[in-house]
A and B are shown apart, each in its own frame.
Chain A
Amino acid sequence: GDSVTQMEGPVTLSEEAFLTINCTYTATGYPSLFWYVQYPGEGLQLLLKATKADDKGSNKGFEATYRKETTSFHLEKGSVQVSDSAVYFCALKHNAGKSTFGDGTTLTVKP
């Protein structure tokens, strides 16, 4: 079955540092890939997505590229802010099916 593996957290960075959160997946076919963000006490918000190989999703300074050859979708941001502190989830989804999520990576950004 499908699975998503994220780098384990927690990740602690200083403000303006470079962020990478690794995500690799196992799936049949060609799923769409997503990053969601969850702030404390809230639901998941879609951060970015990519629907086919070599697509790059980007939003709010975050970006991730769908790499079919390495089955990866790593999240990056060039300069993090305190307000980026949250839990980040990588996910995949096939047409008309459930989404499979990684276990989440907690990011804390210190001023």
Chain B
Amino acid sequence: DQQVKQNSPSLSVQEGRISILNCDYTNSMFDYFLWYKKYPAEGPTFLISISSIKDKNEDGRFTVFLNKSAKHLSLHIVPSQPGDSAVYFCAASAWGPDTDKLIFGTGTRLQVFP
């Protein structure tokens, strides 16, 4: 059972435009969400996170939006750059000292073309 879903396996965006990557989750206990970026044959790198007490978190060109009622989050990249071309994973966890797992989605491959 996939608790974190990224239903779009790929996305193609023109340089300078906005990239919107989506993520849905099914577990209502999830309270903490992260986005990672991954290049081929490398480990993922952390991009941005958000906890459920917020509905938006911004860091430079990256903004994550959280809609708890819809169990949906999205990552916006503005403006998109060719170097943003990578696979993006969303991950989720439940708050609490005994929750040790990060559950990952299947990833969305973003391609930014000139």
The answer to whether A and B come from one shared complex is no
Chain A interfacial positions (CB closer than 8 Å to B): none
